[in-house]
Structure 1
Amino acid sequence: MELWINYLQAQSLVDKYITEPYTRLHLRESEVIMRWLARHFWENEEQWWIIGFLHDLDWDITKGSDQTNHCVLVQSLLRDAGGTDFLIDTIASHWYDNESIPELRDKKRTTRIEYSLAAAETLTWLIFATALMQPEKKLENVKFESLKSKFKNKWFASRCDRNIILECEKAGIGIDEFLQIWLSSMKEIAWELWL
């Protein structure tokens, strides 16, 4: 499957539409974990990391009062940039089954890349919160056991949907291995994340 958007074009789109530093960090985290997952599954790394990098391209525009357009607006932004249906549909899929968005409410994820994207981008919030709970507030000090414990505690980072994270299993990877891959990938870029 083709994307018809390369990394330089993706960077240009992010520069155009993303202004919030935390959104940029979230996109970077998602890009890196998607690359690691592509390696794990022997998939196309470039496609997977571009999809991770662009998945919230409309977030800074739609957050707040216009959130019902999240993953709806991104479809037109990517189509206008020349993105393929594969790129557009995969990115929109991370918000499928969302009751507040009529266009996406009845859609379901069905492919490995869709499950991986949804699980990976959702986990960014849990791992960030776990790092901030460390005495030094450093990602390098987060141990797998701590992350697993926080994952099991539904009250910790309660807005981080564990059911979506567990979709990693539908992609073909167990939750323990997924958490370990995620933790390793984030430690690689911890200095970029200010953690």
Structure 2
Amino acid sequence: MPTYDEALELMHAWTPSESLRRHMYAVEAAMRAYARRFGEDEETWAIAGLIHDFDWEKHPETHPNKGADHLEALGWPAEIVRAVRAHAPERSGVEPETLMERALYASDEITGLITAAVYVRPDRSIHTLTVKSLKKKFKDKSFARGVDREMVRRGAELLGVELWEHVGFVLEAMQADAERLGLAGAASPGD
């Protein structure tokens, strides 16, 4: 099993874009929270979230398979390699089956919507964002067009969590890691 630091080093080596790194940190935050909720291994789930898109910038045409093949060649555990493939079944042909795979699939798209919603807030703070506000953004098809709403719905369903409970859960996970995600706004709450 690779260490978290090894996964972080690999992700940084393959991902020069700070925005993509922050996306992977956001998915990692959601995965850590779900691992705690389900009583699973937090480090393994965090690593899966951290590296799920690490090959996107180098190999967008073969993502996630190119990255998963690389992890396999490095001797990474099959559960992480398969989770990386299963987070994008439409590209890899691998459907999310295990709880970790379903959590990764469910967390990926919604973090993008949450991040986009923070960027248009006057205070640019995730701490003032609410599920009610996210519902409005979710329904507005012109907002964050790149976020696949059906994937978000399917992810919650695969995870066995009601959609807005899932959205609120991921929002809270991201709020807890707001500084690293660059989403704390001009001032943190209580300042």
TM-score, normalization by structure 1: 0.87
Q: Indicate the SS of the match to 1:97.
A: helix
Counterpart selection for 2:49 from 32, 40, 52: 52
Alignment: residue pair count: 182
- Per-residue Cα deviation, 1:73-117 (whole angstroms, up to 9, x for no partner): 10122123221222111111111123xxxxx2x432223222211
Superposed, 1:31-180 pairs within 5 Å as 31-62=28-59, 67-98=60-91, 104=92, 106-166=93-153, 167-180=155-168
Aligned equivalent of 2:19: 22
- Per-residue Cα deviation, 1:33-70 (whole angstroms, up to 9, x for no partner): 100011112221111111000101101202xxxx2211
In the alignment, the residues of structure 2 paired with residue 112 and residue 149 of structure 1 have an alpha-carbon distance, to the nearest angstrom, of 29
Structure 2: 5+ residue stretches without partners:
184-191
Runs (4+) of structure 1 exceeding 3 A deviation are none
Q: Which amino acid aligns with 1:23?
A: L
Conserved 8 A contact 2:48-2:83:
yes
Aligned equivalent of 1:101: none
Q: Which amino acid aligns with 1:144?
A: V
- State the percentage of identical aligned residues: 29
Q: Which amino acid aligns with 1:79?
A: E
1:194 CA displacement:
2.3
Q: Which amino acid aligns with 2:30?
A: I
Aligned equivalent of 1:191: 179
Structure 1: 5+ residue stretches without partners:
99-103
In the alignment, the residues of structure 1 paired with residue 33 and residue 113 of structure 2 have an alpha-carbon distance, to the nearest angstrom, of 18
Conserved 8 A contact 1:96-1:107:
yes
Aligned equivalent of 2:188: none
Q: Which range moved further: 87-96 or 154-163? A: 154-163
Q: Which range moved further: 80-89 or 50-59? A: 80-89
Q: Output the aligned Cα RMSD.
A: 1.5
Conserved 8 A contact 1:27-1:55:
yes
Q: Which amino acid aligns with 1:95?
A: A
Q: Indicate the SS of the match to 1:68.
A: coil
TM-score, normalization by structure 2: 0.88
Q: Which amino acid aligns with 2:158?
A: K
- Per-residue Cα deviation, 1:126-150 (whole angstroms, up to 9, x for no partner): 0111111212222112112101221
Conserved 8 A contact 1:111-1:171:
no
1:161 CA displacement:
0.8
Q: Which range moved further: 106-115 or 45-54? A: 106-115
Conserved 8 A contact 2:85-2:94:
no
In the alignment, the residues of structure 2 paired with residue 44 and residue 172 of structure 1 have an alpha-carbon distance, to the nearest angstrom, of 19
